[in-house]
Amino acid sequence: MIPGRLIFVYGTLKRGCRNHHFLAGQKFVGEARTAPGFRLYDLGGHPGMVAQSDDTEGVTGEIWEVDASALGRLDALEGLAEGMYRR
């Protein structure tokens, strides 16, 4: 079996949140926090994580191991092709 890709989720994809079903069948690795220098902003329907040089806490989230199929679904959800986010 080829190992999956590790991703960090910090918003609606986290356990208990409205888009978590996109991670169905994937492996939860654990809770995590970014290095300081990032902050979440409410962008209406979803949060946006941006670099913020004065941040001292970072952003909390979760690490998931996902397969290629799940990664494709996440790319579509997040609007990768439209430039809405970067991996």
> What's the chain's Rg over C-alpha atoms?
13
End-to-end CA distance of the chain: give it in Å, rounded.
23
Cα–Cα distance for residue pair 25/28, rounded to 1 Å: 9
Active site residue 57: no
Choosing from 62, 65, 78, 82, the catalytic residue is 78
Catalytic residues: 78
